[in-house]
Structure 1
Amino acid sequence: MGMEVGVVQEQDQTLGILVVDDRVENLEDMQELLEEIERPVHCIDSGAKALEFLAQTQVGLVLLDVQMPRMDGFEVARRMREDPRTRFTPIIFISGMIQTDDVLSQGYGAGAVDFMSKPVQPAILLHKVRALLEHEQYRSSLLRLSQQLERERAFNASILDNTAEGIMVVGDDGRIRFANPAIARMLGCTSDELAGSELLGWIDTPHEDHWHTSSFHQHWQRGETLRLHDANLRNCEGRSVPVALSCSPLPDGQQAMILLALDMSVVRDLHRQLESLAITDALTGLLNRRGFLQELQASISRNERTGQKAALLFLDLDGFKLINDSLGHEAGDKVLRWVSGQLKACLRPYDRLARIGGDEFTVILDSLNSPSDAASVAHKLIDQISGEQQFEGMHFNLGASVGIACLPADGTTIEDVLRAADTAMYAAKRGGRRQFRFYDAEAQPLS
């Protein structure tokens, strides 16, 4: 029997929740619990129906049962990750299965962001649902902003073919004959001050020494249009102004050209902001998982090119779950920010620190003389955050287990190096926590 309840017309692109479970009573209980979230709730009683629903409707989160007939939750998750429309939709598995290492490996391998046991604890579930919905709403907003930026770039390109904000007429001697008010404002002077001055005196890049050998003059001589999308003007105070330039010969033997300048400051700043947001962890301000993977690939490439020794440290907090359970998730977030600051204080300015999820942190160390350098850093990090701590009126006991993978001995790809460091970290936990371990390929071979 198909079942769909609590479907509310989504407005302002508010993303709802999809609950998938083959037991009707579980769907009804989950719908009642999620009413507090004030988001649309869609309930589906099979994996196949859930995939059909997702093909038509965008949601912000999927709460997915594992043990279902015909198509289990793991298969639903794998198919979601193969579909571009649902590739990044967060999934929480909710199951009565015992969370063995094999079950967790299957769940996270299928693309889940969390795994909760039945019966769920309402407070914990609601906190995680709110956090993931907020993150998905933020990701969707960022995607819309990126799409808007691409539309604006296309629009700006069409402007370059017709008109632009700044207009100058330049004679064949390289001197400005006319400048409109827009270009004058862009350069921080008056149109009269521009008139009669040399164009090259206002061009920062591309750098040209002489007018008659410049690309502007040469294109004019050939009767061709010169377009520069990443140029820079120099204003009257000497500061650089990013612009897109289009320079075309004027017709009818006027012995002059028209230069159109479009101020790209806002667009380039917005692009830089988008790039920064995409690789930054919103809670701590550190690199997120995407930013970390980019930096790890760069370190691997440097090692291949120069032979420079490097290491990856994989750090997992000991005792953090107890802090979350006893003090609450808001306090847990504060502790994570405190930990980030403490770890950063132990590192060199050019070491790369990232939070890749939950209470997991990574550190990329370059320019090492020997593995003992990495061991020294790991020891310092553990000492810095371990023990009884006080922060903003909170008292808590914390520790850290660290796994170390060396480049290139423990891997030459992102996957191998990360797996080696993760394996070493779990060895440190099994060894008693609050310690570090180097990856041992013989003791713990990569699978």
Structure 2
Amino acid sequence: MFFNRDGCISWLNPALERMLGLTADQLVGQSREQFPFTSHRGLFKESGLMHLFGSGVEQERWLQCTVVTPPATDPDMYQVKFFQDITELVQLQEENQRLNQQVQELAITDELTGLANRQALTRALNSQVARSRRYQNPLTLAVIQLADRDGAGAIPDEVILAVSRYLRDRLRWVDMIARWEESQFIIILPETSLQQGHDLMDKMLASFSELALPAPHTTGSLALQFGLAEWRKGQDARLLMKQAFANLAENGAGDGPA
């Protein structure tokens, strides 16, 4: 595309016409000030990436612009711009970013429940322990075991999913819940003493019978058991977790962290 000394478009080739979806008759003689095509005003910018947009996604274009200033011999060719359509490349980059984001989310999320997984829980717990060590803030860890009173074997996924949502919806925004084992959950309770943790767990268990489970399951055949531990000076995340699992075992469930 050629621009004259007045900054008006003086010529463009058929390939650029097709790229822009506009004809030479529509563009030649146009200047930045009077340009009627809002989505194509980027034609008057300097070199770099130019985003053209239309009424639909299929009309969206990304062009790489290179500007050349030829010898000042032709007033109608004061500036030359070369445009390369890199729409597919940009779309591929955007798709890669989207897929990478999905991979990152999957890497820290339990596939069934959407809760944090072991990796995310461990990372968050280490961070919270470091914070308590630095500021001496209270920190409590809760381990919750979902058990089948009838001893019928593995608890179905749909039940685990319903229970995970029940637990998550009764936590504060600052708390973090993760699925640790098949029917085992761990909750990080920042700024929470052991007694406050007990109060929260008691309240959670008191309303558990109200949970509606998918047929034919009922809360009558299920039980929630918990173990608690409060961070103490000198403990790391591993010792805090070990203490919480020990308390769970004292309450009649769990074998400790695997």
TM-score by shorter chain over 0.5: yes
CA distance in 1, matches of 2:182, 2:107: 18
1:390–1:268 distance in 2 versus 1, CA, 3 Å? closer
Q: How does 1:27-426 map to 2 (within 5 A)?
A: 192-197=37-42, 250=68, 262-263=90-91, 264-304=93-133, 307-319=136-148, 322-324=151-153, 329=154, 332-368=156-192, 370-385=193-208, 391-395=214-218, 396-409=220-233, 411-412=235-236, 414-426=237-249
Unmatched segments (≥5 aa) in structure 1:
1-167, 185-189, 201-216, 221-225, 238-242, 434-447
Aligned residues: 217
CA distance in 2, matches of 1:271, 1:404: 36
Shift of the alpha carbon at 1:280?
2.0
- Normalised to the residue count of structure 1, the TM-score between the two structures is 0.38
Shift of the alpha carbon at 1:386?
6.2
| SS of aligned partner of 2:151 | helix
- Normalised to the residue count of structure 2, the TM-score between the two structures is 0.61
Shift of the alpha carbon at 1:276?
1.6
1:196–1:335 distance in 2 versus 1, CA, 3 Å? closer
CA distance in 1, matches of 2:8, 2:180: 56
Shift of the alpha carbon at 1:290?
2.0
Shift of the alpha carbon at 1:294?
2.7
Does the CA-based 8 Å contact 1:355-1:361 persist in structure 2? yes
Does the CA-based 8 Å contact 2:42-2:52 persist in structure 1? no
CA distance in 2, matches of 1:181, 1:291: 50
CA distance in 1, matches of 2:184, 2:2: 59
Shift of the alpha carbon at 1:361?
0.5
Aligned-residue RMSD, C-alpha? 4.6
CA distance in 1, matches of 2:151, 2:128: 35
Query: What is the percent sequence identity of the aligned residues?
Result: 20
Q: What is the letter of the counterpart of residue 296 of structure 1?
A: L
CA distance in 2, matches of 1:334, 1:280: 17
| SS of aligned partner of 1:394 | coil
1:418–1:266 distance in 2 versus 1, CA, 3 Å? same
Instruction: Determine the structure 1 residue equivalent to 2:76.
Output: none
Q: Which is greater in Rg?
A: 2
Unmatched segments (≥5 aa) in structure 2:
22-26, 28-35, 56-60, 72-78, 254-258
Shift of the alpha carbon at 1:408?
5.0
Establish whether residue 428 from structure 1 lines up as the match of residue 257 from structure 2. no
1:248–1:347 distance in 2 versus 1, CA, 3 Å? same
